[in-house]
Structure 1
Amino acid sequence: MSAYGNYLNLIALSLFSYEVTGTAFGIGAVMALRLLAGVVAGPAAGTVTARLGRRTVMIGADTAQATAMTVLALCGSRTPLWLLGLVVVVLGAGNTFFTVALRSAVPVMVGQEARARANGQLVTARSLATVLGFASAAPVISYGGYGTAFAVNAASFVVSGVALLVLRPRTEEASPSEPAEAAPGPPWWRAWAGVPALLLGLIALRGTDALASSSHNVALPVVAELAEPVDPALYMSRFWAAWAVGTVLAHQVLKRTGTERGAAWGERAFALGTCAMSCSFVLTFTGLPALALVPAAAAAGFADGWTEIVYTSRLQAAGDRERGRLFGLSATAEQFGFALGTVVAAAALESLSPLTVVALFHGVAVCGALVLLLASRVSGGVDRKTTDIRYTSDEPTYTALTEGEGTHGTRTGDGRLPGS
């Protein structure tokens, strides 16, 4: 529900920003401010979740975002520029805090063995929410205006927060070796000193992947206008619907190949999936007819869903208190990569064709994936093991655990997660 509200709001807030600022530059500045807030919030998110608890952080993030959107819905066309800026900062930071808390809580909610399946369910729900949010934006705004769209988004955050309050999912790991009341690890600015180079490379590739993804997001409206000038929205709807089907299929395939063990798919699977995703997205910009575009976009969605599930499951293999810091660093890399890519891709489209821009950006991602693939082979198959990160003093230490070895207690559920 909250993902649906976010994607509906992505279009509504962009159009509303143009109405408030009156310039295309204003739209870009508002989007950049939102992304910058997410980048800044990333490193602090792990520390905050460790001190306050993941469920508390998620409820707080939902409450803050629901309040911000309610204020925007009430103010409507009278919204001053400073208030719009404050709202997008709350949205950017709130989304990062919620995402870091949720991703790091998944293994506690469902157990380490079921985390890949749970991640697949989350990816599936988000993909469907993406399509529904984009598809319903136009009729919602046309019927009720921006105020209605913002109110719907606020309501979606309320639904998420109420679900957390009522269902009370278990989000904190407590064991004799890691009591819940133990002091958090070292500060976030020192927490990355002992992270293995291969894991840092994985996160860096995720940021590069986000940079590459920004190019097709920026270029797709341009291609839609060129391919179907009469109805470009139909072109984009067809593209994203096929992409969503692909992500759903990725979850189904991974579930049936027994990936509940999570990190067995590790760095190599993520690198190969990134290569496949980049090549598929480039293919969709080569001017394919509609009958060929749909399977190409579905292939891109399949690889997108694959990499999302594999990557998230890999980071979730870390120790309970350290997952938040890893996902905080990941959020920073992803937000920064997407923000930088959006600006550079938009500038590049002024002089280069959409295919050239998308190929260049995704070419960078492919090169990064090949480097990670080579590093994982040189390291002697680190991706066949999970990494448990434990704090013994002020610095983290890392111990390798063989595949399938339990480290965080018994399985706590059947793998099903309430949608958020």
Structure 2
Amino acid sequence: MSHDPQLARSTRNAHLIIFARGVSDFGAFLNMVALSTYVYWLSESVVFVSIFLACRVIGGIVASLFGISFFRRFAGRGALAGLDLARALLLTPLLVLIPTHQLSILPFIAFGIGLCNSLFAIGLNSQLPTWVALEQRVSTNAWITSAAATGAVFGSLLSGLLIATGGFEAVFTVNIGTYVVAASLILPLRALYSVAIVAHRGLSAEWHELRKGLRGAPVLAAMLLISMLDTLGSAAHNVGWPVLSQYISPDTAKTVMGYLLAVWACGKFVGARLASAVLKDRRTQSMELLFMIGVALMSSGFILTFQQTELWLALVLVVWAGIGDGLSEVALISRAQSEPDSLRLPLFSLLTLIQMAGFGVGMLVVGPFYLAWTPAQVIVLFHGLPLTALVVMGLWMKKLPIDVGAWRKY
């Protein structure tokens, strides 16, 4: 069997990207849990925690707006490694300043980390085809999603353990270390596949080109709309975890929430692996259909999970939701990466804008619903939105001049 050096280098790049993303996401979850707890400990104010989280979301939204111009000018591994180092630098004041001086700069740290997190995701997803061979792309996306799920579990679990044993300084030190490690994994990447060089055209021209491209790919445009509605559902269940945990077991609510999140992440890991196996043909119709199946599984899984008062039943059903989450995420990213070079960067910027804005708005909107409704009712409403959109999309697609036969063969 002949050994292909290019494919071997592509495999090496894929491994570096997966580990870098896993370490980076571990750091991001460690950071999110620890910093939110730290802000509340310093300020003793829920309002200040809300401001802190809002600054993080606003940073992500700003990143999606100027991510196109940033990566048109600074493409490649250097910019991604720089973003990791910037995240490490943003946390250093928390190790050198006294706590009373930290409170005033924490919103700026939150904004900077939200900005860098989103820019890193946009840059990595949009440029992955320059580092990884076409036949390895879906598998790499699946492992990235699996690594993110694993990072979410360990980051969330270890943050509490580190705070208990070494204090907040220990968490921030480990967190800085994760970003430095991620940067060192990104630097050895080598571009293997040429892409069309796209000159910086200005934001309005980029968005115009993207609108034109999405008109030619109506199913992809519908996937983006469903993704936006899905972020509202995501905000609803994220706000609802503590409430559901309290319903299931008032005495051990925090432990119950930990179990639910860990089992959901395991389901997402399985879903990502299934997506890798199913999408071996790399056809866009397969990716689009798998996205629809994934969203249907995820939203129905969360709706059923939030109807439960027994822990074991909730754990079984949250696996279902996690599998759907893994399937839909891998399918959406792989489908977006199959677009031409000129559209990939604005497409991932738009996707980040949709997700950050939808999640931010969702967090504000769903709160009042929990005051008047049960968690089960809130989740039916907000996860019912993407399910309704899927039904509308299915009916609408029958009227489109697209190859529906390719879907039936799948």
Query: Partner of 1:72 in structure 2?
Result: 94
In the TM superposition, residue 21 of structure 1 has moved relative to its aligned partner by 3.1
Aligned positions, number: 379
Instruction: Kindly indicate whether residue 69 of structure 2 is the aligned counterpart of residue 50 of structure 1.
Output: no
In the TM superposition, residue 77 of structure 1 has moved relative to its aligned partner by 1.8
Query: Partner of 1:32 in structure 2?
Result: 54
Give distance in 2, aligned partners of 1:350 and 1:20. Answer: 27
Query: Partner of 2:114 in structure 1?
Result: 92
Give distance in 2, aligned partners of 1:262 and 1:247. Answer: 22
Cα RMSD (Å) of the superposition?
A: 2.1
* Runs of at least 5 residues in structure 2 that lack an aligned partner in the other structure: 1-22
CA contact (8 A) 1:267 1:383 kept: no
Percentage identity across paired residues of the two chains: 26
Report the secondary structure of 2:40's partner residue: helix
Supply the AA of the counterpart residue of 2:179: F
Query: Partner of 1:4 in structure 2?
Result: 26
Task: Please list every run of at least 4 consecutive aligned residues from structure 1 whose deviation after the TM superposition is greater than 4 angstroms.
Answer: 382-385
In the TM superposition, residue 113 of structure 1 has moved relative to its aligned partner by 2.4
Report the secondary structure of 2:52's partner residue: helix
Supply the AA of the counterpart residue of 1:12: A
Rate the CA distance shift 1:69–1:362 in 2: closer, same or farther, 3 A. Answer: same
Report the secondary structure of 2:251's partner residue: coil
In the TM superposition, residue 255 of structure 1 has moved relative to its aligned partner by 2.7
Which of 151, 170, 174 aligns to 2:194? It is: 174
Instruction: Kindly indicate whether residue 253 of structure 2 is the aligned counterpart of residue 235 of structure 1.
Output: no
Give distance in 2, aligned partners of 1:207 and 1:375. Answer: 18
Which of 190, 193, 214 aligns to 2:211? It is: 193
In the TM superposition, residue 347 of structure 1 has moved relative to its aligned partner by 2.1
In the TM superposition, residue 357 of structure 1 has moved relative to its aligned partner by 1.1
Give distance in 2, aligned partners of 1:17 and 1:321. Answer: 41
Rate the CA distance shift 1:282–1:103 in 2: closer, same or farther, 3 A. Answer: same
Query: Partner of 2:168 in structure 1?
Result: 146
In the TM superposition, residue 294 of structure 1 has moved relative to its aligned partner by 2.0
CA contact (8 A) 1:268 1:373 kept: no
Q: Which residues in structure 2 correspond to 1:217-296 (within 5 Å)?
A: 217-261=238-282, 263-296=284-317
* Runs of at least 5 residues in structure 1 that lack an aligned partner in the other structure: 386-420
In the TM superposition, residue 316 of structure 1 has moved relative to its aligned partner by 0.3
Supply the AA of the counterpart residue of 1:73: L
Report the secondary structure of 2:194's partner residue: coil
In the TM superposition, residue 106 of structure 1 has moved relative to its aligned partner by 2.0
Give distance in 1, aligned partners of 2:138 and 2:316. Answer: 25
Rate the CA distance shift 1:374–1:229 in 2: closer, same or farther, 3 A. Answer: same
Rate the CA distance shift 1:127–1:49 in 2: closer, same or farther, 3 A. Answer: same
Supply the AA of the counterpart residue of 1:270: F
Give distance in 2, aligned partners of 1:384 and 1:183. Answer: 38
Q: Which has the higher helix share?
A: 2
Give distance in 1, aligned partners of 2:398 and 2:143. Answer: 30
Instruction: Kindly indicate whether residue 341 of structure 2 is the aligned counterpart of residue 329 of structure 1.
Output: no
Give distance in 2, aligned partners of 1:235 and 1:313. Answer: 34
Rate the CA distance shift 1:211–1:76 in 2: closer, same or farther, 3 A. Answer: farther
In the TM superposition, residue 382 of structure 1 has moved relative to its aligned partner by 6.1
